[in-house]
Amino acid sequence: MLDELKKAVCNANLELVRHKVVIYTWGNVSGIDREKGLVVIKPSGVDYANMAPEDMVTVELDSGKPVEGKWKPSSDTQTHLALYRAFPSLGGITHTHSVNAVAFAQAGLPIPALGTTHADYFYGDIPCTPSLTEAQTADDYELNTGLAIEKCFKDMGINPVAIPAVLVKNHGPFTFGKTPDESVYHAVVLETVAEMAMKTLALSSDAALPQYILDKHYQRKHGPNAYYGQK
């Protein structure tokens, strides 16, 4: 089973390149085996060009201790682990530095739900965390990044299944899914809706999406009586 998870995580990381939401060694994807309490994640600073499943690194969910792999795990590993511990529904996490989503993060702004494309995937605005303090940045920076995301979601009453994305102020986006591949899917969609939102707001600062349209589009894909797609 762990070999299958390594393949899934590797393929998910390569999918980021195929969809042009990462360049060089930017970004990372992880997946979790909750039964074993293990997380598989991209190695730190390793180029995507020749990446293979055996390059993935396996760490313990609770301690973060590497248990398998020839490389160091991603520098963002502690952020991923904090999120897996906080939200049992997560099966995959993606982090990128995609341009339009990062622009909102650097401005410290949420990505507003302005249209039906957004509503098909995110049930409301995509939140942006506050900045980390100097102390949080100096000590356990990556862990504190995960804890800041957790606090943001819990303070705002957000379910990460309904809004599977977040921006970390001055940093960038993290997206979630039931699987590593789904978390990548949400990262690609997030970048697109961020671009749409930015262009919309440039044309009209008063742009808004009525709640009833947000409800309709999200529920027809994800609600109890969803009818989008094939059975």
What is the block-wise mean pLDDT of the chain (231 residues), using blocks of 10 residues? 93 96 94 97 92 96 93 96 98 98 98 98 98 96 98 98 98 98 98 98 97 97 91 73
Question: What is the pLDDT, as a whole number, of residue 109?
Answer: 98
Burial label for 133, CB within 10 Å (0-12, 13-18, 19+), is exposed
| Stretch (H or E) spanning 150 | helix 141-156
CA terminus-to-terminus distance, the chain:
28
Cβ–Cβ contacts within 10 Å for residue 176, how many?
24
- Tell me, yes or no, whether 61 lies in a domain: yes
Question: What is the pLDDT, as a whole number, of residue 1?
Answer: 67
Question: What is the pLDDT, as a whole number, of residue 102?
Answer: 98
Q: Annotated catalytic residue: which of 120, 140, 155, 218?
A: 120
- Tell me, yes or no, whether 230 lies in a domain: no
List the Cα angle 76/128/11 in 5-degree steps: 40
- Tell me, yes or no, whether 69 lies in a domain: yes
The count of structural domains within the chain is 1
- Tell me, yes or no, whether 229 lies in a domain: no
- Tell me, yes or no, whether 51 lies in a domain: yes
- Tell me, yes or no, whether 49 lies in a domain: yes
Whether residue 90 contacts residue 133, with contact meaning beta carbons closer than 8 Å, is answered with: no
Q: Verify whether residue 120 is a known catalytic residue.
A: yes
Q: Annotated catalytic residue: which of 24, 155, 215, 228?
A: 228
- Tell me, yes or no, whether 231 lies in a domain: no
Domain with 41 in it = 2-222
Strand partners, 176: 93
Please report, for the domain that includes residue 94, its CATH number.
3.40.225.10
- Tell me, yes or no, whether 72 lies in a domain: yes
How far apart are the C-alpha atoms of 174 and 146, rounded to whole Å? 10
Question: What is the pLDDT, as a whole number, of residue 49?
Answer: 87
